[in-house]
Amino acid sequence: YKDQTDKVPFSSNATGWYNFLLSGFGMGDAGWYKIDGTYVHRIKHPGMIDYLKYVQKLYAEGLLDNDMPINATANAREKYSSNNAMAIPMYFWDIPALKAALETNNPNAKNLIATFLAKDAATKPTVFINQGISNIACIPKTAKNPEHAIIWFNIMSDKDNFRTIYIGEEGVSYEVKDSKYYPIFPKFDEYQNADKFAGVVQGDVVFQMWQARARKTPEMAEAYDQMNARVNAYVLQPFFDSYASSLPAVMNSQLALNTMINDKLIKAIAEGTDAEVALADIIAEWDKGGGLEQEQAINAWYAENFG
């Protein structure tokens, strides 16, 4: 593509992390990985050196946009929608915002979702899925009739009641076609924050209803279905970092260390610094800036909660 068009094959905002490339090196969105019985941060993962070398190679060969270190997300999207970059990181919900520009510059353009990188042709890429809690319902200790709150919560958690609270009435705010939920506007907009008021039902039931939100436009629906048609091409691995994010050792240094790591990775990618030297420098900063305390706290947390 680059040789034939002299355009950028892949553009992105300024970042050192590409989860769809990390998957080829045993990593992904998860921050922590169990290696030889111990949880280590991604920066200490055995695959990090090869990952950094790979991204450096893309950058050096002009396959990764050489403006990456200064790009904002809007810059990368503009290059993609104006036909000056073949690919960018995006999610299905990004597509409506790109629709007008794509149609102006190339009326026949179609968005295609690329599969995550695999280690080799015989290996499925691992995609790490974050697990967490989005909402918590509480009954005040001072409540005079707490049992009534539980009765009401159980009523809201009846599947039919849940559906009505969550996405409304079939034929009015949503419709079902080929066993798939689709929104009906403008009524569907009234349920934008309905999950804050609904009860609890099985995850797969909620997921089917939630997909109406993923199909707000035909382009979103097409991209969403295309993306999920590839689920069998991946090994899905849950991770639980979110549950440990409130540990004092994590809260004390996580933001500063994450910023440091990302900045230094971008610099190493752009400057082509020896990968081992660059990672050794990052790890030294990690250890000195609270990373060792994070490692101790995370391992204690996993031992307590997962055995």
CATH number at residue 281: 3.40.190.10
Does the pLDDT at position 104 exceed 80? Answer: yes
Residue 155 has a CB neighbour count (10 Å cut-off) of 11
Domain count, the chain: 2
Phi-psi region at 178: left, alpha or beta (left = phi > 0; alpha = psi -120 to 50): left
Assign 32 a pLDDT band (cuts: 50, 70, 90): very high
Determine the Cα–Cα distance for residues 181 and 37; give it in Å rounded to an integer: 43
Assign 279 a pLDDT band (cuts: 50, 70, 90): very high
With a pLDDT cut of 90, the percent of the chain lying above it is 77
Determine the Cα–Cα distance for residues 261 and 281; give it in Å rounded to an integer: 10
Assign 133 a pLDDT band (cuts: 50, 70, 90): confident
Q: Distance between alpha carbon 290 and the CA centroid of its chain, in Å?
A: 25
Among 192, 224, 256, identify where a domain stops.
224
Report yes or no on 21 lying in a domain. yes
CB 275 within 8 A of CB 53: yes
Among 224, 259, 278, identify where a domain stops.
224
Residue 84 pLDDT:
92
pLDDT, tens digit (0-9, with 9 covering 90-100), for 147-204 = 999 999 999 999 999 999 999 999 999 999 999 999 999 999 999 999 888 888 888 8
**One domain, residues 30 and 125:** yes
Residue 245 pLDDT:
94
- Which residues are CB-contacts of 294 (< 8 A; sequence separation ≥ 6)? 41, 247, 249, 250, 253, 254, 257
> For the packed helices 73-81 and 95-105, what is the interaxial angle rounded to 10 degrees?
40
Lookup: tokens for 171: 């034929």
Which helix (H) or strand (E) segment holds residue 53: the answer is helix 48-60
Determine the Cα–Cα distance for residues 38 and 143; give it in Å rounded to an integer: 44
Higher pLDDT, 176 or 107: 176
**One domain, residues 102 and 250:** yes
CB 56 within 8 A of CB 275: yes
127: helix, coil or strand? strand
Residue 90 has a CB neighbour count (10 Å cut-off) of 18
**One domain, residues 197 and 53:** no
**One domain, residues 118 and 159:** no
**One domain, residues 25 and 112:** yes
**One domain, residues 121 and 155:** no
Residue 241 has a CB neighbour count (10 Å cut-off) of 17
Host domain of residue 175 = 146-224
Strand partners, 128: 237
Report yes or no on 233 lying in a domain. no
**One domain, residues 14 and 113:** yes
Assign 12 a pLDDT band (cuts: 50, 70, 90): very high
pLDDT, average across residues 27-48: 97
Assign 242 a pLDDT band (cuts: 50, 70, 90): very high
Residue 161 pLDDT:
95
Report yes or no on 136 lying in a domain. no
Assign 80 a pLDDT band (cuts: 50, 70, 90): very high
Report yes or no on 166 lying in a domain. yes
Report yes or no on 104 lying in a domain. yes
**One domain, residues 245 and 209:** no
The rounded mean pLDDT for the chain is 93
Q: Report CA dihedral (32, 38, 44, 45) to the nearest 10 degrees.
A: -70
Determine the Cα–Cα distance for residues 29 and 224; give it in Å rounded to an integer: 19
Among 157, 191, 224, identify where a domain stops.
224
**One domain, residues 271 and 160:** no
**One domain, residues 154 and 252:** no
**One domain, residues 51 and 96:** yes
Report yes or no on 115 lying in a domain. yes
- Nearest Cα neighbor of 205 from 247, 161, 250, 237 is 161
In the chain, DSSP assigns E strands to 8-10, 32-35, 38-41, 85-87, 126-130, 174-177, 180-183, 235-239
**One domain, residues 122 and 12:** yes
pLDDT, average across residues 83-97: 89
Higher pLDDT, 220 or 248: 248
Residue 1 pLDDT:
87
Residue 236 pLDDT:
93
